Structure 1
Amino acid sequence: MPKQIDHQERRRLIAEAVCRLADTRGLEGVTLRDVAAQAGVSMGAVQRCFRTKEEMLGFALGHIGERIAARTRARIAESPAPSARTALAHTVTEISLLDEQHRAEARVWLAFVAQAAVSPGLAQIIQLNYTALHGMFCRLIAEATGTPHAEREADALLALSDGLTTHVLIGHLAPQAAHDALGAHIARLLGEAAEHPA
């Protein structure tokens, strides 16, 4: 009897291969042939899963976002004192990808961001990610601080977390310095709660 193929699992396997190649070579080094070799499947298998390279890259980008989101949800769920404050702090810490164990993800994410500047399809996926994050930040900031400027604060927090990731990756900031800067910003932001109770 022929072996049954889990289509979604194969797509995830290929997405992981894309990420490993993007981590070491950047997206310009991601070819269908190399992805197939990295995933341990045939070129035909890759082409059956994805009609175009753009579709494959889009799926891989979504895969990274889902992995980070799952890790963030798990960290929030494990928090001993769940609240809007802790959820906000955990979410920002996870998406900033400053820790050494997430450095590869950070490199891959920024490779996709750079490619999105010339790829409308990838740009749309990243915009959807940022829109969802911005909405979550707005809700958590408003709930934790009672500030009427939650949208503006969410804009700043999202830009800060992205900027710190870039500065760590290129060696301009040490990871601890970036963590300290992010922590100080969150502390100032959440300090509003004492003055403006929700």
Structure 2
Amino acid sequence: MKGQWLGPRKHRDLLLVFGGWALGAAAFAGMVGQTDVLLLDDYKDLTVDLPPLEGYAHIDLLAYSFGVAGAAHWLAGQNLAGRGLRLRRSVAIAGTLTPASVTSGIPPERVRATAEGLTAATFATFCRRAGLAGPAPQLDLEAARAELLAVMARGPAPAYAFDRIWIPRRDRIVPPQAQEYAWHSRAAAVRFVDAPHVPFRAGQDWQDWLQ
């Protein structure tokens, strides 16, 4: 994985954001809040050198799209308590623990077809379908293709009890009905939002998603 700070580092709290495939920081453009934000993405592998986090008063986690499974896989291999770290709150948005699944994610044949047919033009189409505001970000096609295949090969993530689960009703990437099925055992934690796959908007506070 790769890490990228979004904005200045000047707050007492930290938000770990596990982003989606290929969108990078563009999915969160214009988001605001009284927290430092560290974006983690690129799930070809799940190793990352994190900066020291012990100085933060609170750490929250927001996992988006393929980042939901990525975060759950990553957390299963961490000993945060052993480092004196504890997540105050965790949320999953527009994703599931089974990213490539006929019933509870994106059908595997669609993921594979996206990888095999990936071009600048098809990626721009993906961004429009996802509801991304603005132009498609720059993309390393070979790296993005390898990431999709790695996510498929990694398979379902271990169970993780996110405190809140958001399902966008107008999601054209991860079908809402698949998300609802994936989280049926956690129905009390689920909330719906009338938004596309990229549900974030400029000027919105990160805390809106941590409720």
* TM-score, normalised via structure 1 length: 0.26
Give me the TM-score of the superposition, normalised by structure 2: 0.25
Larger relative contact order (C-alpha < 8 A, sep ≥ 6)?
A: 2
* Structure of greater Rg: 1
Between structures 1 and 2, the one with greater helix share: 1
